[in-house]
Homo-oligomer: A and B are copies of this chain.
């Protein structure tokens, strides 16, 4: 009946509590969590779920296009249930990852295409700095 369940069923994939928990968590957060964070967050409700299951589920969700993987430059990936390719902001201070809404970037791919012989299909845009909270605490800094 619910949206995700039927998508999984259509693809011949089993609907399990672990899978629903992971995709629902991603749909209900703006925090772009890592696999580890997902695992820790869900471990109170699913104490027996293993980290490998989180990884395998994320791999599966990626492959059917329900989540995207973000590489913000840490040692591990972040995950996002918003699969549109949209720009992100990363805070040097607290490592949070936020979405960026900016019409200045609309049709960037189209504009860039005029400057290259590549056939462009996607873009990954990351902006680094200090979030509003961390900005206050910063006096003088270079970026790392």
Given contacts A71-B71, A73-B71, A104-B112, contact A129 B125 (CB under 8 A): no
B104 and A111 contacting across the interface, CB-CB below 8 Å: yes
Query: What is the CA–CA distance of A108 and B138 in the complex, to the nearest angstrom?
Result: 23
Q: Counting CB contacts under 8 A, is A120 at the interface?
A: yes
Given contacts A102-B112, A104-B111, contact A129 B119 (CB under 8 A): yes
B118 and A91 contacting across the interface, CB-CB below 8 Å: yes
Residues of B within 8 A of A102 (CB): 112, 115-116
A77 CB, nearest partner CB in chain B, Å: 10
* Dominant secondary structure of chain A at its interface with chain B: mixed
A131 and B111 contacting across the interface, CB-CB below 8 Å: no
Residues of B within 8 A of A49 (CB): none
A105 and B112 contacting across the interface, CB-CB below 8 Å: yes
A20 CB, nearest partner CB in chain B, Å: 27
The chain B residue with its CB closest to the CB of A104 is B111
Given contacts A100-B115, A104-B115, A115-B104, contact A120 B109 (CB under 8 A): no
Residues of B within 8 A of A71 (CB): 71, 73
Choose among B101, B117, B120, B126 the residue that contacts A115 (Cβ–Cβ < 8 A).
B101
A117 and B132 contacting across the interface, CB-CB below 8 Å: yes
Q: Counting CB contacts under 8 A, is A14 at the interface?
A: no
Query: What is the CA–CA distance of A109 and B8 in the complex, to the nearest angstrom?
Result: 40
Query: What is the CA–CA distance of A126 and B88 in the complex, to the nearest angstrom?
Result: 12
